[in-house]
Amino acid sequence: MCGIVGYTGSSQAAPFLIEGLKTLEYRGYDSAGVEILDASGRLRGVKCAGRVSALADRCKTEDLRSTCGIAHTRWATHDAPTDRNAHPHESCDGRIAIVHNGIIENYRALREELQARGHTFRSETDSEVVAHLVEETMSGAASGNLLEALRLATRRLEGTWAIVAMSADEPGVLACARKGSPLVLASTEGGAYAASDITALAGVTSHVLQLDDGQLARMLPSGEVAVYDEQGDAVAEPDSLDIDWDASAATLGGYDDFMAKEIAEQPAAIERLLEGRFADGRVLLDELTLSDEQIAQIDRVYVVACGTSLHVGLLARRLIERWARIPVVAVAASEFIYEDVLVTDHTLCVIITQSGETADTLAAARKMRAAGANVFAITNVLGSTAARESDGVLYIKAGPEVCVASTKAYTAQMVAASILALLLAQKNGSMATGEVGRKFRELRHVPDLMRTVLDRSWQAKAAAHDFEHASSALFIGRAANSATASEGALKLKEVSYLHAEAYPAGEMKHGPIALLEPGFPVVAICPRDNVRDKMFSNIQEAIARGATCVAVATDGDEDVAAVASRVMWIPECPDNIVPIVAVLHLQMLARYVALARGCDVDKPRNLAKSVTVE
Ligand code: M6R
């Protein structure tokens, strides 16, 4: 996790560094720090526990005038989020400073070794060893060449890293290295930039260079960026990417918080995603780089993801099995490494990941590729590791998702999974062309159905009152909407810190019903579908035990209205569309409950948006 930025050029560094950290703060917000090379040739840093706003306040009273600097926002992996453990970290002589994103797995051994050679450590972090190793190589084999010093230092490291280093002995030069953690660079007339992801660079360039694993780069004040491989040889044509995101897409634009903004953006995101995906009676998905014959032969699909994206995976499993008649295993990526996988020549692995950087999901994808499966990624972030390491990638085009709690990516990923399922069904002949067209037209109605639900936000706001004095809540649903229940419970937990549990409604009687007592909130997803009557029975069972039932039901279902304490209404829609539409009420409910409890909905405690550790 963690976000890093670096700049060297002709402008003042600090404003970009602080703004860059604010953009990357979703990656971690336990502590933050900035380091510059001052006019007297000394490295000077300011760092503190807490958020980037706390760092920005401190920086106001410091003289940070410099045209070269590095900065970091941290999600703590090793030891407490204190001032001392905040990055950047310096070498003993204070002439090297580094920021690091990733985990140095062999740091204990390296630390002992460096201490035995007289190095003094100021923090408990794994990252600090990098500053001391570079200090040694800089004054040794690399003889004053920062990039070479960093290259030699990284040969001693095990684990993952994106590192930006600066040295008082090579003023204006930044050296970068990457293995397993993302890092993008930009070369502009005004200078050279580095950042953990493109959102931090969207305001300065529309073209970025992407370091591959093992690569390093030297950045100069002229804006020049030179990329090298592990052996130190120049890379003639490093990977690059054009950014088509509008920088303003990552700003609040008049909304109170990013969660509100991103919930509201869902209809437009789905419209963008569906554009150009259907013509002449056929679903268009050229990104799946398999021949028609290979697609028709797919005999098994693994869907692997984490968190909210895993809930999309649960829906994807149903759609692919129902429409394309292919057996699907949907599994949490964090558990996947313990699974025995059954890969044939015709196995497809679908990874679903908003950030494209989730370490567990990437590890699962690598395992499947190594076993011979074709890996297809559904992701939001252009040029992310998931995109780059997969055989094919479908971008969901939701735009930057800043709020740590995923909302617009969730629904866009569900629509993306629907497109994939239709494509598979069409190509293997499980679904007639006319039926594929009908299903696709249903997807086209999703944006308007969503707008109807968004116009009813007052219903979720009113329902939030039922959670004011609760210490726990139960979410129940059946069939596809048991995943909706899981997503609703996850959203509530992560933004409001209220304990919530999701259960398939039919399982309630096998245990969770013991929780129920007068006033206990039960959120029941009860649309008018083929399991509606069974869900209605479950609602009655809960109410009979005194539970306060907040239902999501289809317009006009008076039976539900008669028994539930509150109803959040959805318009009539096909079964496969309900999960994409109903969840909007649950997203809004979670936000309203969180606001009532005084929580920061965009940056929930302990979380980071991009979970780059396993
Ligand atoms: O970027 P990814 O989709 O791979 O992220 C997976 C999970 O970390 C993520 O969905 C997480 O559960 C969110 N905070 C949910 O809102």
Q: Is 130 helix (H, G, I), strand (E, B) or coil?
A: helix
Confidence of residue 247 (pLDDT cuts 50, 70, 90): low
* pLDDT, tens digit (0-9, with 9 covering 90-100), for 116-126: 999 999 999 99
Fold classification of 3-250 (topology level) = Glutamine Phosphoribosylpyrophosphate, subunit 1, domain 1 (3.60.20)
Fold classification of 258-444 (topology level) = Rossmann fold (3.40.50)
The residue whose CA has the least distance to atom 8 of ligand 1 is 307
Is residue 355 within 6 Å of ligand 1 at its C-beta?
yes
Q: Any catalytic annotation for residue 549?
A: no
Fold classification of 455-596 (topology level) = Rossmann fold (3.40.50)
- How far apart CA 547 and CA 524 sit, in angstroms, is 11
- How far apart CA 159 and CA 301 sit, in angstroms, is 30
Is residue 137 within 6 Å of ligand 1 at its C-beta?
no
The residue whose CA has the least distance to atom 14 of ligand 1 is 405
Task: HSE, CB side, 13 Å, CA atoms: give it for residue 261.
Answer: 19
Single-letter code of the amino acid located at 153: A
Nearest residue to 103 (alpha-carbon basis) of 122, 75, 123:
75
Mean of all residue pLDDT scores within the chain: 93
**Atom nearest to 611 CA in ligand 1:** 8
Q: Is 348 helix (H, G, I), strand (E, B) or coil?
A: strand
Yes or no: say if 149 and 123 are a contact pair by the CB < 8 Å rule. Answer: no
CA angle, residues 97, 107, 364, in degrees to nearest 5 = 105
Strand partners, 188: 191
Does the N-terminal peptide bond of residue 521 adopt cis geometry, omega within 30 degrees of 0?
Answer: no
What pLDDT does residue 251 have? 80
What pLDDT does residue 591 have? 98
CB burial readout 135-145, b (16+ within 10 A) else e: bbbbbeebeeb
Enumerate the domain spans of the chain: 3-250, 258-444, 455-596
- How far apart CA 343 and CA 102 sit, in angstroms, is 31
Q: Any catalytic annotation for residue 461?
A: no
* pLDDT, tens digit (0-9, with 9 covering 90-100), for 572-590: 999 999 999 999 999 999 9
* pLDDT, tens digit (0-9, with 9 covering 90-100), for 292-345: 999 999 999 999 999 999 999 999 999 999 999 999 999 999 998 888 888 999
Yes or no: say if 21 and 52 are a contact pair by the CB < 8 Å rule. Answer: yes
Would 3-250 and 455-596 be classified into the same CATH topology?
Answer: no
Pocket test for ligand 1, best of 262, 263, 311, 354 (most atoms within 8 A of CB): 354
* pLDDT, tens digit (0-9, with 9 covering 90-100), for 531-558: 999 999 999 999 999 999 999 999 999 9
The residue whose CA has the least distance to atom 7 of ligand 1 is 307
Instruction: Extract the runs of DSSP E, i.e. beta strands, from 289-408.
Output: 300-305, 328-332, 347-353, 374-379, 392-395
Q: What is the mean pLDDT of residues 159-170?
A: 95
- For 154, residues 6+ apart whose C-beta sits below 8 A from its C-beta are 161, 163, 177, 179, 216
Regarding predicted confidence, which is higher, 177 or 22? 177
pTM here is 0.86
Confidence of residue 78 (pLDDT cuts 50, 70, 90): low
Confidence of residue 151 (pLDDT cuts 50, 70, 90): very high
